[in-house]
Amino acid sequence: MEEGSPETPPIIAFEGINRAGKGTQIDRLKSTLCEVGISFVELRGDGTREGSGNHDGDPFSPWWQEYSKKLRDEGTTDEWNYAAYVLAQEINGWRQSAHKLNKQVMLLDRSILSRASFMIDRVTPLVDVLLIDDLYPIQPGPKLAIEDILPDIILELTAPKHVVLSRLDPDDPKLAFRTRLIEQNYETFYSSKKRLPDLVQGRIITIDSSQPRDIVFDNVLETLDAKLEAWKKLYCPGSQV
């Protein structure tokens, strides 16, 4: 993949356990990209999408609406793995067509770290280094390559377990479920990157998200600054980031 080429728009992924701050930082970055005139598409990189049609990265899909509900109600490991494969194919499709649709940056909410964490949690034993077939064991259609789903940069947001737990909404009807999810998966999630190939690990930048949101975003922008400058010059010559 040629980073920064109009034919291969740069992919920025945000990773982190529930309540690490991914959604907040993605929204802040989207606002900044709009301000500087860089068009983007936001995609779900792992898990499921709504199929609501509310934005370009979540086109209307009755299938996704039904399948997402099924996954949340009683999804099996195989069903979640199939959803991950469909999302991966959608990412690959956007990678190949984004420049034609004037999308200059791709943003991923979750990506390969979440996929690795899921597989480590659900399947044992696993090989020491997780390759594409380990991460996507169900591939009923075209086979995936690591390049199809690998972001250019993975921003891993981290915060101590007690911090992310403190961010849960006490009035959330799923509070007990979300608490248990964090308690059980915290260590697995943040150790999963050690089981990924060096190619993936080399693209991970860890950011302390226990700090105030503005400071976290400053760190995100500092990390991306050089890349944003290069992308801006590529797509919008003559303007300033």
Reported as a single tens digit per residue, the pLDDT across 188-214 is: 999 999 999 999 999 999 999 999 999
Q: What is the CA radius of gyration of the chain?
A: 18
pTM over 0.75: yes
Count CB neighbours of 163 within 10 A: 16
Write down the pLDDT at residue 1: 39
Q: What are phi and psi of 42, to 5 degrees?
A: -105, 125
CA angle 131, 134, 113 (to 5 degrees): 70
Name the amino acid, one letter, at 221.
L
226 or 217: which carries more pLDDT confidence? 217
Mean pLDDT of 82-104: 94
> How many domains is the chain built from?
1
Mean pLDDT of 162-177: 94
How far is it, in rounded angstroms, from Cα 19 to Cα 158?
10
In the structure, what pLDDT confidence band is assigned to residue 22 with cuts at 50, 70 and 90? Answer: very high
Q: Is residue 1 part of a domain?
A: no
Q: Is residue 2 part of a domain?
A: no
The packing angle between helices 175-191 and 112-122, to 10°, is: 100
In the structure, what pLDDT confidence band is assigned to residue 237 with cuts at 50, 70 and 90? Answer: low
Name the amino acid, one letter, at 102.
N
Q: Is residue 240 part of a domain?
A: no
Average pLDDT value for the chain: 91
- The gap from C-alpha 217 to its chain's centroid, in whole angstroms, comes to 17
Q: Give the CATH number, domain containing residue 15.
A: 3.40.50.300
Q: Is residue 6 part of a domain?
A: no
Is 40 in a helix, a strand, or coil?
Answer: strand
234 or 5: which carries more pLDDT confidence? 234
| Cα end-to-end span (Å), the chain | 24
Identify whether the C-beta of residue 51 lies closer than 8 Å to the C-beta of residue 61: yes
Contacts of 222 (CB under 8 A, 6+ apart): none
Range of the domain at 104: 11-235
Write down the pLDDT at residue 34: 94
Q: Is residue 3 part of a domain?
A: no
Write down the pLDDT at residue 225: 84
